[in-house]
């Protein structure tokens, strides 16, 4: 997902993206959605099958 789309999603959730890096912004969104803020941590057995960041995250390994 492009950074502008991520920032738009963050703002819609009440998160001010400011100068946050993409991964940090995604983690803030994950936390607000009730998930563990784990984006990019390389967990190959991720239990969150419905996380919208799953494909991008697992592709970063």
pLDDT band at 61; cut points 50, 70, 90: low
- Cα(51)–Cα(31) distance, rounded to whole angstroms? 11
Segment 4-11 shows an average pLDDT of: 96
Tell me the residue range of the domain where 24 lies.
Answer: 3-59
pLDDT tens-place string over residues 25-58: 999 999 999 989 999 887 778 888 888 888 888 8
Into how many domains does the chain fold? 1
Q: 3-class secondary structure for 18-40?
A: CCCCHHHHHHHHHHHCCCCCCCC
């Amino acid at each position: 997902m492009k950074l502008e789309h991520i920032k738009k999603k963050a703002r819609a959730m009440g998160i001010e993206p400011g100068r946050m890096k993409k991964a940090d912004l995604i983690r803030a969104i994950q936390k607000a959605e009730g998930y563990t803020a784990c984006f990019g941590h390389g967990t190959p057995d991720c239990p969150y099958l419905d996380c919208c960041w799953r494909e991008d995250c697992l592709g970063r390994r």
